A and B are shown apart, each in its own frame.
Chain A
Amino acid sequence: MTEPEEALMRARAAAAQMRAAGAYADEGTIDPEPSDSITLAKLYEWALIEPDLRDVRSTRRYGAPMTALKHGLLRLLGQYHSALIAEQTRFNVNLLVHLKRLEDRIEALERRAEK
């Protein structure tokens, strides 16, 4: 019998033994830290707005007709949304371009200061 207090020790021993026998090769580790850092590349990706239509749905149990209605409304309002998305995307991209120029200038100034 394994007592709960012994279980982890036994599991570690079993994992080591199996690894020695060739199992569990190159499994890596699991890291409980947030891993998705927000890079400038990621910001560029997000600047181009593409709403996910799967998020437009009914949350009710038998909500398929309501989901269809919502998708229908989106199609009817397509021109308005296209204009809205275009304007917002233009602003986002221009802001990022501006940010990138500023970053480059700071980098250049820092390099100059170091010399």
Chain B
Amino acid sequence: MNVHQLLSGAGPHDAITTEAAQFRARFTEWGWGGRDHAARLAPGLNGAVRPLSQFAPAPDDVLLLHHSAGSPRLERLLAWSNRKLLLYHNVTPPEWLWGHAPLVAVHCALGREQLPELVAHATVAAADSEFNASELRALGAQRTEVIPLLLDRAPLGPPGSGERAGPPTILFVGRLSPHKRQEDVIRVFALYRRQHAADARLVLVGDPVTEAYVERLRSLADQLAPGAVTIESQISQAELGDHYRAADVFLCLSAHEGFCIPLLEAFHFGVPVIARPSGAVPETAGDAALLVDDGDPAVIAELLHLAVTDAELRASLAQRGRLRLDAYTPDVVATRLRAAVEATAGAIG
């Protein structure tokens, strides 16, 4: 069997591209062929993903459509009569982006506009969280499968010893983008630092939606917590692992998440997680994170203080995090993926 993966965009640091590569490795292991193509290619992929213009499937091939943004020339894709497995990763609501990155916002708006058509043409509809699957059902999908994001922990390295030394370090990993609310993270961190730990550090890791937005974050950090905030982009998985090992708490105040894989990364490293329960966050985190939907930054600052200083609370969260990871092992995800692809290939029509 041939399974071709089609992505709206691909880049070397992109989570969906990474997942597609992991899927491809599994497909090869199962003796399946096929190629991966994307409408937009960022530099640095070294030929792993081909341009969509070179896509030409045989009639019996299965198409796996990863949907995370608008796909130009979607009608050409849908015109192929092949069986299609739609895997919906969610699309950021464009309202967050019009003011900062209008081109990205256009792709997001287009992605949301195209979703009903994709659902209508999908042989099987799947999503990487129940939250995302509910959007597909709202658009008429009769039956939806959930295939969680595949986290490959090996490149991140092993967890650290767990012994804390030095000033408290707060970490957030996620695209530097308005809907991830790094601005709120900086505000809460500044309060925590002022009230409890003058030497605390905040590390924000992620690729910027625009350089101007990163400048805005830097300016806010300089104003509220001068010298205490580090912003890093384009780092390797090994360097990301080092940041998790050095972190005391992972603080996620994102307003929209379709899955939130950094939560699982934090669990892997035994780092206590505090998160806003938006989108798929409660589902991904289960009982292993401290969820807070308070609008009062002082409450979150106090929760941060508790998570940094209460050793037993930290140990309890680390233990729950390890258990939570069992639901997302590569084998669990691979089994669901295989079942969905085989259901697509075996479907009549």
Contacts and interface: CB of A to CB of B under 8 A. Distances in A.
A29 interface: yes
B178 A34 contact: yes
A18 B195 contact: yes
A36 interface: yes
A31 to B, nearest CB: 6
A54 B305 CA distance: 37
Interface stretch (A6-14, A75-83, A92-100, A104-112): A6-14
Contact of B307 (A7, A12, A42, A61): A7
Given A1-B313, A18-B302, A59 B44 contact: yes
**What are the nearest 10 A-B pairs in CB distance?**
A36-B99, A11-B303, A29-B295, A32-B255, A1-B312, A54-B211, A11-B302, A24-B298, A15-B298, A34-B95
Interface string B196-232: 0000000000000011100100000000000000000
A52 B302 contact: no
B96 interface: yes
B297 interface: yes
Interface size class of A (residues with CB under 8 A): 35 or more
Nearest to B188: A30
B276 A32 contact: yes
A113 B215 CA distance: 48
Contacts of A2: 306, 310, 312-313
A27 B297 CA distance: 7
A12 B184 CA distance: 18
Interface string A41-69: 01000100000101101111100000000
Most chain A CB within 10 A, of B96, B215, B291, B296, is at B296
27 contacts: A1-B312, A4-B290, A7-B303, A8-B290, A10-B306, A11-B306, A12-B294, A12-B299, A14-B302, A14-B305, A15-B299, A15-B302, A18-B298, A19-B298, A24-B298, A24-B301, A30-B184, A30-B188, A30-B296, A34-B96, A36-B99, A36-B100, A36-B178, A54-B211, A55-B210, A55-B211, A58-B43
Contacts of A30: 181, 184, 187-188, 253, 295-297, 300
A11 B299 contact: yes
A61 B13 CA distance: 12
B134 interface: no
